[in-house]
Amino acid sequence: MGPAIVDSFRKLDPRIMFRNPVMFVTLVGAVLTTVSIFTSSPGPAGQGFVIQLAIWLWFTVLFANFAEAMAEGRGKAQADSLRKARRDTMARRIHNGVETLVAASQLDKDDLVVCEAGDVIPSDGEVIDGIASVDEAAITGESAPVIRESGGDRSAVTGGTKVISDRIVIRITAEKGNTFLDRMISMVEGARRQKTPNEIALTILLSALTLIFLLVAVTLKPFGAYAGVDFSIPVLIALLVCLIPTTIGGLLSAIGISGIDRLIRRNVMATSGRAVEAAGDVDVLLLDKTGTITIGNRMASAFTPAPGVTEHQLADAAQLASLADETPEGRSIVVLAKEKFNIRARELAEPHAVFVPFTAQTRMSGVDFLAEDGSAGKGGGAPAATTVRSIRKGAADSVKAYVQSNGGEFPDEVSKAVEAASRAGRTPLVVAERRRVLGVVELKDVVKGGIKERFAQLRKMGIRTVMITGDNPLTAAAIAAEAGVDDFMAQATPEDKLRRIRLEQAEGHLVAMTGDGTNDAPALAQADVGVAMNTGTQAAREAGNMVDLDSNPTKLIEIVEIGKQLLMTRGSLTTFSIANDVAKYFAIIPALLMATFPAIVPLNVMHLASPQSAILSAVIFNALIIIALIPLALRGVQYRPLGAVAVLQRNLLIFGLGGLILPFLGIKAIDMAIVALGLV
Amino acid sequence: MSNVDWFSFALYVGLVALITRPLGLYLVQVLDANGKTFLDPVVRPLELLTYRLMGVDHNEEYDWKRYTMAMLLVSAVSCVFTYAILRLQHVLPLNPQGLPALGEALAFNTAVSFTTNTNWQSYVGESTMSYFSQMVALTLQNFMSAAVGIAIAAALVRGIAWQSGEALGNFWVDLVRIAYYLLLPVCVVFAVFLVSQGVPQNFRPYDTARLVEPIRLADGTSVETQSIAQGPVASQVAIKMLGTNGGGFYNTNAAHPYENPTPLSNFVQMLSIFAIGSALTYYLGRITRNPGHGWAVWAAMMVMFVAAVVVCGAAESRGNPLHQALGLAVADGNMEGKEVRFGIFASSLFAVITTSASCGAVNAMHDSFTALGGLVPLFMIELGEVVIGGVGAGLYGMLVFVILAVFIAGLMVGRTPEYLGKKIGAYDVKMAMLSLLVLCGSILGFTAWASASEWGTAGLNNSGPHGFSEMLYAYSSATGNNGSAFAGLTATPANGDIRYNLTLGLAMLIGRFLMIVPILALAGSLVRKKVAPPSPGTFPVSGATFVVLLVGCVLLVGALNFLPALALGPIVEHFLNLQGRMY
């Protein structure tokens, strides 16, 4: 709070104020009123009235500056901690095989540096050799280290993060002074903040309104001369300041800054305010299935035994075959068997059990039990010479081949079960013991809890969701139906994604997507809002216009909501500001004319005590309402996922009707207060 | 207001609603270069011949700049043409009364006035204009300026609806088709109807009638005869109403028994003022493929209209408290300045209609209305004449408010504001606000100048707030291209001071062209934009919420600016009246 107060005075600099025409006019008004304290002859009530007017006009300007300073202040603390991470580290630059120590700020793009355990990575880059675990807490706040390695989708490293094991060679990809950390700092500080398109349009509207009211106030002087009323300059300035939209004018930049701030606090870095605004406009979301719509992995969901086999037997065999299988799918089979038949997980460490891992050739995994004495069992085949039991699970065609090679048969019922599972969007695994097929284990994608409701809300807001998956169309359709997305793309390649985005955009839609791999980069760049995962490649992070430090694809939905909230707050406060004028007219116009035309007293509907108290009350209300609305500007108006009509009606009622009525009450209350205090 | 008043009012609104759709559908055909109408067999060859004579390629479409240039060219040429005729009136034919040429300032004022569809008249028709001037200079301009207004509105609607890149249509084709298929045929029928009601259509010299009872003047001379003006009245009155021009053949305009003889002619004239403006809202809905939107705009207009009529009618029927206190009042209200054959309500209704639309014809003297009753017409003009409005002008004026309403409130639904799928950007807001700024600047600026100078106050008929209303009304009327006068203001004084005529002329030019150019620029900007398909998240531009929003925007953004000025005029006057003071 303290620094914000200091800042609000610092921001009185006319060169800064000039960027905000509404508040600049208020500033000029405050100066002129102050001057007129000394130049004009004191009226019957003395100069006390003009002095108080001047004070409140200055407060109006300061309150607006304070709002902006408050909004900026919230980012400042974060910027300071980021700066600590940037403090000048030394880099070990390799040039022609010779290692030299240089300051990190001296690094050029394409320089090669080496980092070992304990080193702070000097700048953004790409790992070109080695693998290391990196602590990225400085930017993500997440203390668990992450793996960074050359090649693949996890090669990007960020300056300011720390290597905690091993050694990597990094090719620097950022220009001097334009690292991710630099951008992040300037973003949170609101420095170099450029006005967004909607903000520019709104500023034009507000400036034009200011100009119109300036005309109104200026022409009132000659009108008064005709009518025999001498309007004093301070009174006309008071009228002007009350009429121009100071409420929204004073809070506009605070709204913009706090919108970005809200993103930052959710660990999303936007490269521009424009992107945040575009997020509010998005009406198509391209969502990756895995991680966004479904929990990362498939889970076992049902056992379908073959004829002559009980479900219990199948579960038992499947569990045995999966005991050593550390993949999530394997573990889920163990869990399902335990849940359904209370089959306890048995230790597989016994020497006679041999785990057979999955290979690309066999496309099966399983377990072999050796005879306890190690002697030959009953079965035939090379490894089976010593096995007593051999269980396999795998894709239907592989298991079929395995069973048939052992002289067994693949029952029709099982084929049908396999087919049915595929059609339902599940992945069937067949379990067999040598020549005997035991049945089918179905694995299915698990849709995240609550996601369907989320999509329904999005649909109400007019946002369409498209699921992207590498699955075949059958599986994709089943999951799409379960998750309640509007559309899906099956067997999608990165090129398909890009094509889809272009198609949607050609139809006039605005598209948002998330991505992490290098092959996502073109689509991220093409999308109106491209959110790159922080774990992704440098290419992806460069291509998108936002980076999610938590690498959580579901966050796209929150980003859209923040964008909408930003626009809503602006619109609502503009409506409120303009609606306020009605009450202010009713306060000031009778006050202006009462002395010359006492007949106009009935127009003083609020029964304000005197012309002076009426004018002062309006000006005070006008100043205080800025302070009162700062929390709303920083927090944003309440967001609800409703259709446009419902949102409009709600906000019109609160901010339109409220904006009409509230100032009547407020001005009356202030009038009573200042009369009671004997200020006029 | 009596039951009969309410009935006639309901009948009026009902009939306006009834003609909106069929006339709107006809407009769709007229404003489509390849549209089909039942007049095609007769008019189409004539239309094509006109293009050939003008050297216009009627298949070519113009971008907004070319469209604007063509519009400005037509306006400039016809303005100069009118000026020339008025200056040369004395040597031109059809001048049975031998009227002299007009002075420079008056000719300028009149030429501008008729070119801009204002029809402010700083002269007395029957003693200033020859039949030739009335027919050729003024009536021609009535057609031209009305057609220009409709064409501009069509261009803006196309800008909103089309995604053609640049093209807004062909100005010449629009102009010719509006005149040939819409204005001329309707006016022929309308004029015949007016003649049937007793409106003259001749070239005779003025009749001289012997007074039943001679009038003895103060200086002792006795007046025994009266000169009764004649002329081709019906043909001019038809277009003056249909094209919302409003320039009367005679000085007292539609109050004159020859211009508006019967209650029926009065009713039909009122209907014709709103006809095209109302139908254009249907055109809007049709072309944008959102009929609900067209009706929502119409409903917003009508809400304001009905409210205005009720306020004005109530104020007039309540009458003047001073007269009532003295026992002088007519039982049913304020009859001062009103024709007995129309009565109070039909006069109030006419006053609101003529100022809602930028017509400006009057059948009663607005100057003689009560303070509140007179406030209403003044207020309607200052709204920007967006309640039905002048032909074309009303729609494009209203669309500016639609865009502002959509922009301000559109943000509230959490998206970049879009109007019928087109995003409203900084440039569009700039152009919309520019047109509002022009309106407000001209009205307040010129009034301020006049009220602070001797030439300004010298022309006033009344003192105090009422005198102020006269000035405010004059510049509002000129800027708004309305043309009605509060009467009482003398714009062409005997001392030859030209400043009223010049400033009013300037106000008319500013109010017309500085308004149209930003609007065409807006059309040019909109037509380049892609349309985003509608979804539940799209801002709704139809339905009751939108109507409320639009009315609120017009009142808050458009009218609040004039409240201080109105307070010094009619509002103060009203309260002083209540206290027993009159001006």
- Among A216, A223, A281, A655, the strongest candidate for a mutation testing the B interface, having the largest count of B CBs within 10 A, is A223
Strand, helix or coil at A429? strand
CA A187/CA A263 separation, integer angstroms: 11
Question: Confidence band (pLDDT; 50, 70, 90) for A375?
Answer: very low
A266 pLDDT above the threshold of 60: yes
Min Cα distance A487 → chain B (Å) is: 15
Query: What's the mean pLDDT in A363-377?
Result: 69
A358 to chain B, closest Cα gap in Å: 49
Among residues 563-622 of chain A, which lie with CB inside 8 Å of chain B? Answer: 563-565, 567-568, 570-572, 574-575, 578-579, 581-582, 585, 589, 592-593, 597, 599-603
What pLDDT does residue B329 have?
Answer: 61
In chain B, the residue whose alpha carbon lies closest to the alpha carbon of A578 is B556
User: Which of A648, A649, A652, A653 has the most B C-beta neighbours within 10 Å, making it the best mutation to test the interface with B?
Assistant: A648
Residue A666 has pLDDT above 90, yes or no: yes
Give dist(CA B296, CA B546) in Å, integer.
Answer: 7
* CA pair distance A324, A334, nearest whole angstrom: 10
Residue type, B248: G
Looking at residue A46, its pLDDT comes to 66
Residue numbers of the domain that contains B117: 3-204+228-283
More confident residue, A78 or A412: A412
* Average pLDDT, consecutive stretches of 10 residues, N- to C-terminus, chain B (583 residues): 90 97 97 93 95 93 95 95 95 90 92 92 90 92 95 96 90 96 96 96 91 87 90 94 92 92 95 96 96 96 96 89 70 81 92 92 90 92 91 95 90 88 93 94 95 87 87 93 82 82 93 95 94 81 93 89 92 87 74
Instruction: Please count the structural domains in chain B.
Output: 1
Q: What whole-number distance in Å separates Cα of residue A336 and Cα of residue A334?
A: 6
Do B413 and A568 count as a contact with CB atoms less than 8 A apart?
yes
Q: Which tops the pLDDT comparison, B372 or A1?
A: B372
Residue that has been written with the tokens 């102020």 in this structure: B468
**Is B448 a member of any domain?**
no
- pLDDT band of residue A55 (cuts 50, 70, 90) is very high
Residue among B543, B556, B576 whose CB faces A578 most closely: B556
Instruction: Given the residues A124, A261, A288, A520, select the one marked as catalytic.
Output: A288
B494 falls within a domain:
no
By the CB < 8 Å criterion, does A102 face chain B? no
Q: A223 touching B, CB under 8 A?
A: yes
- Which residue in B163, B406, B411, B472 has the most chain A C-beta atoms within 10 A of its own C-beta, making it the best mutation to test that interface? B411
Is pLDDT larger for residue A108 or for residue A290? Answer: A108
Asked if residue A379 has pLDDT above 50, the reply is no
Residues 449-478 of A with CB under 8 A from B: 459-464
Separation CA A564–CA B489 (nearest Å): 54
Neighbour-count burial of B263, counting CB atoms closer than 10 A to its CB (0-12 exposed, 13-18 middle, 19+ buried): middle
Question: Which spans in A142-232 are helix H?
Answer: 180-189, 197-227
Is there a contact between B548 and B427 (Cβ–Cβ < 8 Å)? no
Closest CA of chain B from A632, distance in Å? 14
User: Does the residue B93 lie in any domain?
Assistant: yes
Cβ(B291)–Cβ(B402) below 8 Å: no
Give backbone dihedrals phi and psi of A121, rounded to 5 degrees, phi first: -70, 125
Q: Which of A195, A245, A243 is closest to A218 using CA atoms?
A: A243
A216 lies within 8 A of chain B by CB: yes
**Closest Cβ–Cβ partner in B429, B561, B567 for A212:** B561
Does some domain include residue B211?
no
Subunit contact B564:A589, Cβ cutoff 8 A = yes
- Give the ipTM of the model, two decimals please: 0.93
Contact across the interface for A208 and B430, Cβ inside 8 Å? yes
Assess A228–B contact: CB distance below 8 Å, yes or no.
no
Query: For residue B417, what is the nearest residue in chain A, using CA coordinates?
Result: A198
Predicted pLDDT at A355: 81
B434 vs A contacts (CB less than 8 Å) = 208
Interface probe with B: pick from A202, A203, A204, most Cβ of B within 10 Å? A204
Looking at residue B268, its pLDDT comes to: 96
Cα–Cα separations (whole angstroms), residue B476 to A227, A269, B438, B505? 19, 53, 12, 12
Which pLDDT score, from 0 to 100, does residue A161 have? 85
Contacts B452 to A, Cβ<8 Å: 222, 225-226
Contacting residues of B for A611, CB less than 8 Å apart: none
CB-based contact B429 A204, cutoff 8 Å: yes
Q: Is A182 a catalytic residue?
A: no
* Nearest CB to B407 within list A205, A209, A215: A205
**CA dihedral angle for residue B548, residue B554, residue B557, residue B560, rounded to 10 degrees:** -100
Residue B235 within any structural domain of the chain: yes
Quick: pLDDT tens for A521-574.
888 889 999 988 877 777 788 888 888 887 777 788 888 889 989 999 999 999
Give contacts of A601 with chain B, Cβ < 8 Å.
575
pLDDT tens-digit profile of A107-150? Answer: 888 889 999 888 888 888 888 888 888 888 777 766 677 888 88
Could you say which residues from 182 to 211 on chain A have a Cβ atom under 8 Å away from some Cβ of chain B?
197-198, 200-202, 204-205, 208-209, 211
* A–B interface: beta-carbon pairs under 8 A: 212
Largest alpha-carbon pair distance within chain B?
Answer: 81
Which pLDDT score is estimated for A42? Answer: 63
Q: Which chain A residues are closer than 8 Å to B426 by Cβ?
A: 197, 200-201, 204
Whether B564 and A283 lie within 8 Å, measured CB to CB: no
Q: Which residues of A touch B447 (CB under 8 A)?
A: 219, 223
Chain A residues whose beta carbon lies within 8 Å of the beta carbon of residue B531: 508
Nearest to A572 among B412, B445, B564 (CB): B412
pTM (2 d.p.): 0.86
Do the domain assignments include residue B183? yes
Mark yes or no for CB contact A226/B533 under 8 Å.
Answer: no
Q: A653 — contact with chain B (CB < 8 Å)?
A: no
The residue type at A476: A
Q: Could you tell me whether strands A464-468 and A487-489 are parallel, antiparallel, or unpaired per DSSP bridges? A: parallel
Q: Determine whether the interchain pair A599/B572 forms a contact, defined as Cβ–Cβ distance below 8 Å.
A: yes
Q: Is A212 on the interface with B (CB under 8 A)?
A: yes
Answer yes or no: do B448 and A223 touch at CB < 8 A. yes
Among chain A residues, CA nearest to B540: A645
* Residue B340 lies inside a defined structural domain of this protein: no
- The answer to whether A674 and A616 have CB atoms below 8 angstroms apart is yes
Quote the Cα angle for A581-A582-A584, to 5°. Answer: 60
Please work out, in degrees rounded to the nearest 5, the angle formed at the alpha carbon of residue A239 by the alpha carbons of A236 and A243.
140
Contact between chains at A581 and B424 (C-beta distance less than 8 A):
no
Tell me the C-alpha distance between A600 and A593, whole Å. 7
Cβ contacts of residue B240 below 8 Å, gap of 6+?
B119, B142, B246, B247, B248, B249, B359, B361
Q: Which of B401, B415, B440 to mutate to test the interface with A (most CBs of A within 10 A)?
A: B415
On the question of pLDDT at A345 being above 70, the answer is no
Q: Is residue B384 part of a domain?
A: no
Model pLDDT, residue A376:
43
Distance CA A590, CA B571 (A): 11
Which pLDDT value is given to residue A348? 52
B-contacting residues of A 514-553, CB under 8 Å?
none
pLDDT of A380 strictly over 50: no
Provide the pLDDT for residue B309.
96
Contact between A240 and A27 under an 8 Å Cβ cutoff? The reply is no
How many Å lie between the alpha carbon of A605 and the closest alpha carbon of chain B?
Answer: 14
